[in-house]
Chains A and B, each alone.
Chain A
Amino acid sequence: MSDLLHTPLHDLHVELGAKMVPFAGYAMPVQYPMGVMNEHTHTREKAGLFDVSHMGQVIIEGSNFETVALELEKLIPVDILGLAENRQRYGFFTNAAGGIMDDLMLANRGDHVFMVVNAGCKDPDIAHLKSNLTGLTVSEIQNRALLALQGPAAERVLGALNPMAANMRFMDVATISLAGAECWVSRSGYTGEDGYEISVPSDQAVALATELLSHVDVEPIGLGARDSLRLEGGLCLFGHDIDTQTTPIQASLNWAIQKVRRTGGDRSGGFPGADVILAELANGASQKRVGLRPDGRAPMREGVQLFAGLDDEMPIGNITSGGFGPTVGGPITMGYVPIEYTAQGTAIFGELRGKRQPLTVMALPFVPSNFKR
């Protein structure tokens, strides 16, 4: 793994006994000695600390926020102009066919936009921004780590370091001091739990992580539990549940496209693939991402083909994420099916090791979200 990049917390992960694996060009902890199942449960019950420093942190600057917002809206079909200062929102880059190039978080930081993008997409994302934005400066932040503190105890833990953290609401963003470091903190995450994402100067990241881990309620959590947590939360993983071949409407991400960007809105369209996406919003998509729960105990994973009946020859779709949900206590999956199979309770089949096994269409998320709105 010598050619892999290291995050500022690499040596700490090794010290904590993490099993390191290659992920998006980085050596990342997939699990710690506690194990995926216990790490998952600990995060749902107390708080977990995740290293997400492999993700891309990007600053986009222009003469003022309005200029930046209007330029970014040419690439991202969400309401950026209407985002209040120090508020964050989920979004995605779309392509000309209406597909998703990457999903992201963006925040109005007054005179600039702060964006967090997926590790595997950060180079193409930054190139995409640079080549399509006029009059703006796009900078990748390379001297900051990114930590996520997730779970019901996160507020208490971070609030003890700085009471301002406890006063933040879901999707608020603030610059606050934590363990002596100037941190850019958002009250968000990707586990379905309340929590924070913390951008911290690289040279202070280990000290902050160590301080957080010294709390009795905080354990380090690896990518394995991060995946089962976000799957139970019904959250999409780029490259799996969403990609350049899936539109936001097919991905059931309609909620992320505010009215102002839809047909009839003040800033309707004007983003790549708007014709496709707005038509799907009006008329519905032919297929949708849904939650699917195998009736049996055997997990079904990404790539499993879905069938309408036991004897049908042609698959109707496939599973894009799947595994065991420790909080659900059984196997859970997400996948794409034609619109006529999307009603909750619809029974379909997945082909596992040559045998058709029943699954039921379920509401997402599998585990209720616990955000502090």
Chain B
Amino acid sequence: MGGADWETRAKARAIRSECLKTTHAAQLGHLGADFSALETLIVLYDRVLRFPNGDLSHPDRDRFVLSKGHAALAYYAVLSRLRERPVANISEFAKFGSALSGHPSNTKVKGIETSTGPLGHGLPFGVGAALAAKLEGSSRRIFVLVGDGELQEGSNWEAAMLAGSRQLDNLLTIVDRNRLQQGRGTELVNRLEPLTEKWRAFGWSVREVDGHDPEQLFDVLTSIPFKSGMPSCVVAHTTKGRGVSFMEGKAAWHHKVPSLGELDLALAELAEG
């Protein structure tokens, strides 16, 4: 295990604890989604996204969109650890008048490109941002993190079709493939498989990784475009609620708030590593 890998894992443990405590305090959150997407968020911000001079508003920065906006708390936690600290105090989460809503808002937190929450909004925005980068001749890249259940929204496929048609090889979509949506398994509700074939049919180049393995994530996220002239898609196989044994793979933890007992149990488990 490399040094960066170890750092990511340690950071992920710390952020999981922070998300647990914050969600319990706020009595609101989406821990299952936070934990599923967490390693992807950390690797992106620590090792992949380019911000010239560390400036989160630099015109030529890479763009990142958290289309699954309900993973906001994990996102805030990652942002709070950046040098520029666009999120100063995570305990403000969900409090009255706070910048840290349950879903991220670009007008309230620097570094967030667009407000998300309703599903199926991130990829169309990403396609527009990718078209803009091409038009300017900029080498910046556009990264969009979507949930797998979210792909049931038709707007994603409108955008996917255009990205393929326009050969947007500066665009990367990461699918957080935890196989669970709010109520049940994705395949029980409205089957997504064969998922990689779907993306390929829309003109994307697709790879699959373990979405909790920092090295695999780093390798794939720094290999774009996978094919010149094609948008790239990473299907990141993940576990909803990852890191806390009694939450893993349970749809109920999509937005369940832990009791005090569950909080203690989860924190103890994370402390053991």
A and B associate: no
Q: Which residues in B have some Cβ–Cβ distance to A below 8 Å?
A: none
